Structure 1
């Protein structure tokens, strides 16, 4: 906004701007950054990237990723929609996520054992 974002984007010592948010604000940010030819990285319209670094508690992070992806069939505004994982731990982390995801019971939403019920399509 006007108190933080605009001064950061226009500050001469800021060399790059990374912004995640709406397309409308992204356009304003890009326009302001263009005045000084700053590098710009935008994630417009995306949401809920889960970033996992090597020093993370991988068990807790994997549990959070699976919960976020499947809770309420992923139909929550804060549902995890993507993972950004450091390459040093990517294989181990994705293995842990797969192992947990394999345990998520998909099926009849009226069955108490089901964790993920009705979906839009079989795919």
Structure 2
């Protein structure tokens, strides 16, 4: 009569293999979630900047058409987006002083973002003290 033979070979995973697999999957999951969070943040920032550029374009268009032609040294809310605000500053530039001109900087920002970080801006050359000779 043949003897029954017990196989010493087991058909499962050892504890070390299970722990290593869990650590590997956990590391991969953490890396994927971190990358997703960064990408989502970059996407939100890019969308906000795009909205600010569109708002700035609208401000410049309104200024060119004469609706709100005086943007010098002013600030206000962007029409159509209550979260965005704009401000303008007039800066003397040494190279433009002999011409009677200065740099007008118009910025669009969101006060809720990182202390009012500027999202978009444009700089224009303007007469510094009213319309001098040589300016149309």
**Shared topology, TM-score over 0.5?**
no
Higher strand proportion (structure 1 or 2): 2
**Greater relative CO, 1 or 2 (CA 8 Å, sep 6+):** 1
* TM-score, normalised relative to structure 1: 0.27
Report the TM-score, using the length of structure 2 for normalisation. Answer: 0.25
